[in-house]
A and B are shown apart, each in its own frame.
Chain A
Amino acid sequence: MSKWDRLKAVPMPKQPIHIRIRNFDEVALGYNEEQALMEAERCLQCANPQCVLGCPVEIDIPGFIKLLRDGNFREAILKIKEKNNLPAICGRVCPQEDQCQKNCLLSKRGDPVQIGRLERFLADWEREHGVEIPEKLPSTGKRIAVIGAGPAGLTAAGDLAKLGHEIVIFESLHEPGGVLTYGIPEFRLPKRIVQAEINYIEKLGVVIKTDTLIGRLYTIPELLRDEDFDAVFIGTGAGPPIFMGIRGENLSGIYSANEFLIRVNLMRSYLFPKWDTPIKVGDKVAVIGAGNVAMDASRCALRLGAKEAHVVYRRSRAEMPARKEEVENAEEEGVIFDFLTLPIAYYGDEKGWVKRMECVKMQLSEPDESGRRRPAPIKGSNFFMDIDTSIVAIGRRPNPLIQQTTPGLKVAEDGTIIVDEKMRTSIDGVYAGGDIVTGEATVISAMGAGKKAAKSIHEYLTKKI
């Protein structure tokens, strides 16, 4: 181990590149005890910790780091769990560099304390050493329906169950977890971790009913009227993928990132034909967009045998919305970045499979009033890229079914559900949170919304007694 330097973070051990691009196992291996203690030692235990302000659920960061440092791992993880039900997940996928770690005092002169990695270490430690199930309050006799088993729904369900309410989560897919299960790949968030967190929620007494599409099987008015629920939480997240609407976009071989990732993650098509759902990538893959979703898709494509995976983005490196760590991982693995490039048409072979993509080069304008540099096409810069697959990762809209089937539910123009500061919708007893309210955001913000809604629902139901 190298000499300890307060300004330098303990590096994260990772699977070697040449090995990991041939498997779907987790890339980042996690700190061992010695590494975690070394990293924790760097924390200055600030009296006025800015890091906490950067965390959407306000975890007592110096508090848990102190406990960790003292070797008191059990107390440390319980400190985190006061605020965060899903630490093994947040420690892995939170955009820490924009949240807690961005504010860390050390980041002014060196690397911030690696808060997310420490959180992950503790959560993994707890999973190996047995998870304590907290005491539940006595039953209130109230029943709450939670729609959607993503981070927002799972968190709301967990908190409400602890308070003594009876919870049923209705999930339309065959597995719970939301994006954690169907979207984020195994190599970034192993499914057994998600499963462990779900088991924990189920141990709290929460019933998860999969294969149940609310809006079709039951509407919200039916849940409240016929199925005896006292309140409803909507956590249905984002769904319908946005396409660009350009020529040839419905050729075979052009997937939405959602389709591609659902096939790979939820349906395990990387194990085809042992598992039944096929996927086809070919040699040269273009991924359109440059967010986390695009990084996930391009890295999956390489693991599925693509010779080249290009991230095609109309702006430049500086504007990429993906997490830095994920961009680095993607680059290490050989993903090629084509910046300032916009696809404008696709062309296929006689069987209707995509073969070529026409693009234009872009330039960024001077910053406008909002400080954003807008990309504009350069005339006459058209060129062609030979490809076998394109994965469109330019965003998703809110799932619309609940909004369409719930009379009186106020919805914004972009399809998101409108709530007040207590996560109340326009219907009495109906709450919402997560991506369905904010549009596509983060795991931790969806969790935060679930927590807040749980608190309000509890208030509402206990006042009603």
Chain B
Amino acid sequence: MYKIVEKREIAPRIKLLKVFASEIAKKAQPGQFVILRVDERGERFPLTLADWNKEDGTITLVFLEVGVSTRKLGELGKNEVILDILGPLGNPTEVRNYGVVCVVGGGVGIAAAYPVARALKEAGNKVVSIIGARTAELLIFEEEMMMFSDEFYVSTDDGTKGYKGFVSDVLKILIQKGHRFDLIYAVGPAVMMRAVAEVTRPCKVKTVVSLNPIMVDAMGMCGACRVTVGGKTRFACVDGPEFDAHDVDFGELIRRQMAFLSEEKMALECWEANKRSKEA
């Protein structure tokens, strides 16, 4: 059981939890994630480690409420507990001095990009960050990202803040203007990561993405998370979650993410109906 020591809503439907999980905090590295189960009947679902603190033994999770599992998690308050957290999982980001790196974070993925940007900065890289969201109020972790960025760009789909358009458009403009990058790191929705991959493909800059397929055990035993990378089937939970963006079959990833759409919808309706009847 893992106690929530801090809870904040950092944007509409995006919540931040600080959870006491000292063993995980001690071992966590950038790019890693945990899989959790909120309660006895809950499903196992993964969230990236947005931060951790070895001293006070906490880990930070930032998530967007989309379906039953994230809604249930979002309902938990300070001092309540999460039943199970397994981690740290996945291979850590390969952090070294590449030279100039560009870290791209989209939506709730900005929180996942943050520890990577920080580690890359601390390793001596020049860090150029691009973060984006649908609209200004959904932008998260701006200050945190800025703190570890030499250059910092913002985009929103509706133009309410920063550049009007996608993060991949900003990246494209930077490259066209002659920016040279030694590494591009992107995390966010699959469509965004695909767009970034397409921008960097012609200039052949090494581009790493952190993939988010459906997972069940997250320890390599089920194959739910399989993705095609370079024509080969890989398990994102143990072989990844980071892969070379130019080798990833994003179409397949996006289709597989939607495999249980009708079930998820049904579950959410049941859950909401249940909640209403409990409140009544």
Contacts and interface: CB of A to CB of B under 8 A. Distances in A.
Contacts of B270: 273
A276 B258 contact: no
A276 B88 contact: no
A47 interface: no
In terms of DSSP, what is the predominant structure of the interface of chain A?
Answer: loop
Nearest to A173: B217
Contact of A259 (B89, B216, B252, B258): B216
Given A259-B223, A268-B41, A280-B259, A210 B24 contact: no
A279 B85 CA distance: 22
Contact of A256 (B83, B222, B227, B266): B222
B219 A401 contact: yes
B209 to A, nearest CB: 18
A96 to B, nearest CB: 28
B259 A245 contact: no
B220 A239 contact: yes
Interface stretch (A85-93, A246-254, A422-430): A246-254
A442 B244 CA distance: 40
Contact of A276 (B69, B224, B227): B69
Contact of B219 (A172, A250, A275, A352): A172
Given A250-B256, A267-B43, A272 B267 contact: yes
A305 interface: no
B233 A258 contact: no
Interface stretch (A108-116, A211-219, A289-297): A211-219
A125 interface: no
B211 to A, nearest CB: 13
A253 B260 CA distance: 10
Given A240-B235, A267-B43, A278 B263 contact: yes
A234 to B, nearest CB: 15
B41 A275 contact: yes
A226 to B, nearest CB: 11
Interface in A268-306: 268, 271-280
A280 B263 contact: yes
Contacts of B258: 252, 351-352
A252 B221 CA distance: 18
A263 interface: yes
A223 to B, nearest CB: 13
Counting contact residues on chain A (CB < 8 A from B), the size range is 35 or more
B220 A217 contact: no
Contacts of A174: 37, 44, 83-84, 86
A241 interface: yes
Contacts of B266: 273
A272 B255 CA distance: 22
A241 B221 contact: yes
Given A256-B223, A272-B267, A211 B86 contact: yes
A400 interface: yes
A16 B8 CA distance: 54
A352 B85 contact: no
Determine which residue in B42, B72, B83, B235 has the highest number of CB atoms from chain A within 10 A of its CB, and name it. B42
B181 to A, nearest CB: 31
B87 A278 contact: no
B226 interface: yes
B257 to A, nearest CB: 9
A98 to B, nearest CB: 26
Contacts of A352: 252, 255-256, 258-259
B27 A216 contact: yes
A447 to B, nearest CB: 21
A347 interface: no
B42 A276 contact: yes
A211 B35 CA distance: 9
B220 A276 contact: no
A276 B222 contact: no
A258 B237 CA distance: 15
A93 B203 CA distance: 58
Contacts of B86: 172, 174, 211-213
B228 interface: yes
Interface string B244-280: 0000000010011011100110110011000000000
A276 B41 contact: yes
Determine which residue in B68, B87, B220, B227 has the highest number of CB atoms from chain A within 10 A of its CB, and name it. B220
A256 B256 CA distance: 14
Contacts of B27: 216-217
Contacts of B238: 400-401
A174 B72 CA distance: 18
B221 A262 contact: yes
A399 interface: yes
B85 to A, nearest CB: 6
A453 B27 CA distance: 30
Given A212-B86, A279-B263, 20 more contacts: A172-B86, A174-B37, A174-B44, A174-B83, A240-B223, A241-B221, A241-B223, A250-B227, A250-B228, A258-B222, A259-B223, A268-B41, A273-B263, A273-B267, A273-B270, A273-B271, A276-B267, A278-B267, A280-B260, A352-B252
Chain A to chain B: the 4 pairs with minimum beta-carbon distance, closest first = A352-B255, A278-B263, A252-B259, A259-B222
13 contacts: A172-B86, A174-B44, A174-B86, A212-B86, A213-B87, A239-B220, A240-B221, A240-B235, A241-B221, A241-B223, A250-B226, A278-B267, A280-B260
